[in-house]
Amino acid sequence: MGEGFDYTTSDVHDWEIEAIFDAIDTDTLIISQHAHNELSMDALTVDDVLDAIGNYDEVSKDLPGNPLRRAPGINFDTHRSTLTIRVKVGWRERYYVVITVMAN
14-103 is classed CATH 2.20.25: no
User: pLDDT-derived band of residue 94, with 50, 70 and 90 as boundaries?
Assistant: confident
**CB–CB of 99/34 below 8 Å?**
yes
Q: Cite the beta strand spans of the chain per DSSP E.
A: 30-31, 58-62, 73-79, 84-92, 95-103
CA-to-CA distance for 64 and 67, rounded, in angstroms?
9
At 47-88, the pLDDT tens digits run 999 999 999 999 999 998 888 888 899 999 999 888 899 999
pLDDT reported for residue 42: 87
Where exactly are the structural domains of the chain?
Answer: 14-103
pLDDT reported for residue 2: 52
Please give the full DSSP string across 68-85, using - where no structure is assigned: T-PPSEEEEEEE-SS-EE
